[in-house]
A and B are shown apart, each in its own frame.
Chain A
Amino acid sequence: ETGVTQSPTHLIKTRGQQVTLRCSSQSGHNTVSWYQQALGQGPQFIFQYYREEENGRGNFPPRFSGLQFPNYSSELNVNALELDDSALYLCASSLSRTSGGETQYFGPGTRLLVL
């Protein structure tokens, strides 16, 4: 069974640029969630995708957007990068979109540095 994978592992961008992060969900999982983890903090929920549609969003501006594909893989796009976007971006997959409680399994993350 393949776990959650993310690419790239590290990325350096400059302020104002755009970035795309990618995630492949664990085999059999159809729900993907994205989290942002600033240094020394706990992860913060960005949004979740279920069957190619956004299913809930945290307190992040519209320049954070995403996609989910028919194979349940997902992308996180961030436009107009700001210095505060520097963080570890974590993708998690789960078995299904239930009303809550499904265990989420995380990928290794993408470390984004915005200069």
Chain B
Amino acid sequence: AQKVTQAQTEISVVEKEDVTLDCVYETRDTTYYLFWYKQPPSGELVFLIRRNSFDEQNEISGRYSWNFQKSTSSFNFTITASQVVDSAVYFCALSEAGGNNRLAFGKGNQVVVIP
């Protein structure tokens, strides 16, 4: 069964600081996909990034970067130089290749950026 754990609940940072969100996942599939979504107060989940289990290359996209390590089953996400507009709940999610594309979400991290 697929499972995602996001340990931190609320994280407060001062504007322009970096913030890293931790995500640990469990799956029995060898092929799987990991996602990060952002949920602002309006409620809509906004897709941020997607990685597959065969690609551990870490990348940077604008102010977002991620660190995918299969050895520790972690998929951490960093926002560099945070801005007030980054205040939201961030969810890590997993789908398995054999699981008809259903997403298993963690409980989310509430990020509060203080101006």
Give me the interface of A with B, judged by CB distance under 8 Å. 31, 33, 35, 40-45, 48, 55-56, 58, 88, 90, 92, 94, 97-109, 111
Interchain CB contact under 8 A, A100 and B107? no
Give me the interface of B with A, judged by CB distance under 8 Å. 4, 31-33, 35, 37, 42-47, 50, 52, 91, 93, 95-108
CB distance from B16 to the nearest CB of A (A): 28
Interchain CB contact under 8 A, B108 and A103? no
Interchain CB contact under 8 A, B95 and A100? yes
In this complex, the member of A33, A44, A103, A107 whose beta carbon has the largest number of chain B beta carbons within 10 angstroms is A103
When C-beta atoms are compared, the residue in chain A nearest to B29 turns out to be: A100
- How far apart are the CA atoms of A6 and B87 in the complex, in Å? 24
Interchain CB contact under 8 A, B50 and A103? yes
Interchain CB contact under 8 A, A56 and B44? no
Instruction: Determine the chain B residues whose CB is within 8 A of the CB of A42 once the complex forms.
Output: 4, 91, 93, 105-108
- How far apart are the CA atoms of A71 and B53 in the complex, in Å? 33
Instruction: Determine the chain B residues whose CB is within 8 A of the CB of A106 once the complex forms.
Output: 37, 44-47
- How far apart are the CA atoms of A115 and B37 in the complex, in Å? 30
- How far apart are the CA atoms of A92 and B102 in the complex, in Å? 10
Instruction: Determine the chain A residues whose CB is within 8 A of the CB of B95 once the complex forms.
Output: 100-101
- How far apart are the CA atoms of A48 and B31 in the complex, in Å? 20
Given A42-B91, A108-B42, do A33 and B98 touch, yes or no (CB 8 Å)? Answer: no
Interchain CB contact under 8 A, B33 and A101? yes
Instruction: Determine the chain A residues whose CB is within 8 A of the CB of B93 once the complex forms.
Output: 42
- How far apart are the CA atoms of A41 and B97 in the complex, in Å? 24
Instruction: Determine the chain B residues whose CB is within 8 A of the CB of A97 once the complex forms.
Output: 100-101
- How far apart are the CA atoms of A44 and B95 in the complex, in Å? 13
Instruction: Determine the chain A residues whose CB is within 8 A of the CB of B103 once the complex forms.
Output: 33, 35, 43, 45, 92, 104
